[in-house]
Amino acid sequence: MKKDDTMINLDVKGYLAKLIATENIIIQHNKVSTASFDVKDRVLTLPIFKEQSGDVYDMLIAHECAHALYTPYKEWEGITDPELRAYVNVLEDTRIDKLIQAKYPGIVKNYMNGFDILETKNFFGLMGKDINKELMIIDKINLRSKSLNRLPFVFGDVDNKWLAKVDKIVTFEDTITLAKELLKFQKDQVEELKKLPDFDNLEIVKSYNLGKDEFDFDDEEDIEENTDRGDEANDFNNFGDEQADDEKPAEQDGESNNVEEDKKSDENGKEAATHYGPGSGGDSESDKLLRAVTQDSFDNKKEQLLDDKVKGLIYGNIPEPSFQDGLTSYKDFLKAFDKLKVESKKYGTDVVKYDTWLQEKYKKFLKDNKKTVSYLVKEFEMKKAATAYKRASTDKTGIIDPLKLPNYKHSDDIFKRLTVIPDGKNHGMIMLLDWSGSMSDVLNQTIHQLINLVEFVRRVNIPFEVYFFTSERKYASEHSNYDKSFNHKNGDWYFENFNLVNCASHKMTKRQLDASMMYMFHMGEYYSSNYGRYNPRIPYDYKPSCYGLPREFNLGNTPLNEALIYLNKLVPMFKKKYGIEIMTLITLTDGGANGIRGRVKGSEGDEYGSDWHKTKVYNIGKKRLQQSPHSDGENLTAMLLNHIKSEHNVNVIGFFLLKRIRKWDLERMCAGKTYLDREKEYNQMRKQMTKEKAVAVDKPGYNKYFILNGKTMDVKNFSMADATVKKGTSSELKRIFAGSMKDRITSRVVLNKFIQEVA
């Protein structure tokens, strides 16, 4: 699968965040400027940073988690005065950073290194500044905390008194109280400075833009005006960065893009998410306010840390299958045909006559295939025995061998030996068969391959299940409410209703399995007669009027992904019940899976509009699968298969039917990049297709992926009686027989490749 630059490793720091949060909260990354915490559903949303590893990222993750743990949402949102909000923000950062570092001492080093990295990039605006002369006490407190007291500050007696008070902060209420006290103190200090004749030339005045003509604390109207601006004027936060008011789109009509705009709520009154404050504004009015300039500098530059390649992510859970509505058992499969035949009699169909014809043809097919299947069974057992012999070990038993006693003087090898052959591991197989409309012209040959495979696994006692998947539903309603095949809940991705039909199983009695395979044979004949192309070289085979097939078994589209979601539940159940150690999953399709609707239940996103450019994230168990924007259903297929392989230890074999073996059809499967490489690989593939009826290619999600020629995949049989008298010499007959034996094996391409993979 081609790497997409917009894809991020969602789990790279998710585990760190969960650990720090001390609970199994849901961690989501998204295109946001600051962290937010949904206090009801326990969802922590983190920004997507460019650096997904290293000290900076670890520091930012720890800091945001600390806010989620310790900063109360309602109290923080209640602070509307921008000056007080700026001071509270700095003091609250010192409080929560101290708490998280005490709880997890291992991240202290991350804080130290992270600060050093950002400071060298001038994130705090210190370049060219004298930190002892140009910074107020609020910024000294900020840098003292973030640098872990490693900057060369020279603190006076007054500074130390304030630092002692900062160190005694315990609760958020303490933070607010001290912020008010410190803000009043700093305003008084500015008033004292204004009495100096060179006030406008002081470095600290220039640093904070406190020119006497522009800043007057005695002007109550000016203070009220700035205070009324609230968050519009300037939101101060450690890790936030919103646009300045003069940079915001005109259609906002002066409304700020503040926290109120980011609140989340639903029809059930769900409590809003906690956002830890947008960044500072940058207009001239807000510049006149008292603030922490080092924090403003960081807020303004924080956007450089965010990953602008990612357009956003949509999170959703893989829904739980509804086996009652989406799964047809083999018993119901057989009952559907029994019911169909009863109904067909009412309309005058001679069911008995057709069944007699069908049984005779099916029995002849089994008889013609019996010898070849028996040969392959024997070959399989021999390969297993040979493999077991390779693993055999010979050990001394501790029992003296009398025949070796004469050798005791010159050899201590006088003990009997025992050859130990490890027990063969239990195999299991599940097969998924594509039941889509495009399979109609090759369905007959495909079912012949399937019957051979089923006969083989039955003979060698391998537990097996065979399913075909179709979009045709087994219930009456055709209107999609998306709540039939899956138990969709809020937060789940929508998947289509479909029908997964269990048409063969080792649990069946011999009579049931024969009946089921005969009905599969019947459906192949039905579609071959109705959709197959006329071939004048094949004699017309008279067939009585048949009873068709149940409507829920009609060919439809390709819900392969839906079937794989079901198998993610069925495979572990199957392995556990039958003690399967080597599990093989086979898919046989002629096309990619259905596209993805791209909608999460309960979300307000536009199904095909604004959300289409975003990365889709599928939560499945404890894993997360990502699908890049504009990806098709085949991309999700690979992700689901990889998940099944890794989670349930499954060997996945895919068979893909090509209806036309054109150069382009094979060349697009070539791994070669240059024209000459593609030509060479194409010629090799074509040669192998002719010789073995299949060619293996690389395909994401599969251990082995075979391309089959849909036109020439029917099974072949041979009898020596078929040899013509004209070629009657013994050597010629020997050659004919050898060639026919090879054709019989290679023509059973699905069975042949299965044996090669599991023997």
Amino acid at the residue 701:
G
Q: At what angle do helices 14-21 and 55-70 cross, to 10 degrees?
A: 40
Closest CA to 70 of 110, 88, 42, 97: 97
Helix (H, G, I), strand (E, B) or coil at 538: coil
For residues 241 and 329, state if they share a domain. Answer: no
For residues 572 and 692, state if they share a domain. Answer: yes
For residues 349 and 206, state if they share a domain. Answer: no
Name the band, by pLDDT with cuts 50, 70 and 90, for residue 104. Answer: confident
Q: Could you tell me the CA-to-CA distances from 253 to 246, 249, 258, 277 in Å, in that order? A: 11, 8, 14, 21
- Where is average pLDDT lowest: 231-240, 407-416, 527-536? 231-240
Name the band, by pLDDT with cuts 50, 70 and 90, for residue 402. Answer: low
For residues 249 and 104, state if they share a domain. Answer: yes
Name the band, by pLDDT with cuts 50, 70 and 90, for residue 530. Answer: low
Enter the tokens of residue 352: 């008995």
The pairing of beta strand 415-420 with beta strand 615-620: unpaired
Q: Can you give 156-218 as a three-state secondary structure string?
A: CHHHHHHHHHHHCCCCHHHHHHHHHHHHHHHHHHHHHHCCCCCHHHCHHHHHCCCCCCCCCCC
Split into its structural domains, the chain has a count of 2
> How distant is the alpha carbon of residue 586 from its chain centre?
21
CATH of the domain at 583: 3.40.50.410
For residues 458 and 501, state if they share a domain. Answer: yes
- Residue at 524 is within a domain: yes
CA-derived radius of gyration, the chain:
37
Higher-pLDDT residue of 11 and 313 is 313
Mean pLDDT of all residues in 72-98? 92
Name the band, by pLDDT with cuts 50, 70 and 90, for residue 160. Answer: very high
Contact 39, 274 (CB under 8 A): yes
Q: 190-212: buried (b, 16+ CB within 10 Å) or exposed (e) per residue? A: beeebeeeeeeeeeebebbebee
Element (H, E) at 466: strand 464-470
Where does a domain end: 310, 339, 371? 310
- Residue at 404 is within a domain: no
For residues 194 and 332, state if they share a domain. Answer: no
Name the band, by pLDDT with cuts 50, 70 and 90, for residue 67. Answer: confident
Contact 695, 706 (CB under 8 A): yes
Name the band, by pLDDT with cuts 50, 70 and 90, for residue 419. Answer: very low
pLDDT digits (tens, 9 = 90+) for 288-325: 688 899 999 988 887 777 777 766 778 888 899 999 88
For residues 292 and 358, state if they share a domain. Answer: no
Task: Compute the Cα dihedral for 745, 747, 750, 756 and give only its sign.
Answer: positive
pLDDT at position 405: 57
Considering 115-129, 216-230, 263-277, 525-539, the range whose residues carry the highest mean pLDDT is 115-129
- Residue at 394 is within a domain: no
594 Rama class: left (phi>0) / alpha (psi -120 to 50) / beta: beta
Closest CA to 283 of 310, 261, 254: 254
Helix (H, G, I), strand (E, B) or coil at 376: helix
For residues 441 and 488, state if they share a domain. Answer: yes
CA atoms of 352 and 514, how far apart (whole Å): 17
Enter the tokens of residue 649: 């230890």
pLDDT at position 517: 94
- Residue at 386 is within a domain: no
Domain coverage including residue 67: 14-310
CA atoms of 60 and 110, how far apart (whole Å): 9
- Residue at 140 is within a domain: yes
- Other CB atoms closer than 10 Å to residue 375's CB: what's the count? 13
For residues 301 and 355, state if they share a domain. Answer: no
Q: Could you tell me the CA-to-CA distances from 631 to 298, 496, 628, 637, 754 in Å, in that order? A: 37, 17, 6, 11, 31
Q: What residues pair up with 315 in beta bridges, in sequence order? A: 617
For residues 554 and 641, state if they share a domain. Answer: yes
For residues 345 and 300, state if they share a domain. Answer: no
- Residue at 643 is within a domain: yes
Q: Who's near 397: CB < 8 A, 6+ residues apart?
A: 415, 416, 417, 418
pLDDT at 456 over 60: yes
Considering 373-382, 552-561, 615-624, 694-703, the range whose residues carry the highest mean pLDDT is 552-561
Element (H, E) at 706: strand 704-709
For residues 295 and 351, state if they share a domain. Answer: no
- Residue at 47 is within a domain: yes
How far is the first Cα of the chain from the last one, in angstroms, to the nearest whole number? 29
Where does a domain end: 278, 310, 342? 310
pLDDT at position 292: 92
Element (H, E) at 45: strand 43-47
- Residue at 726 is within a domain: no
Q: How long is the chain?
A: 759
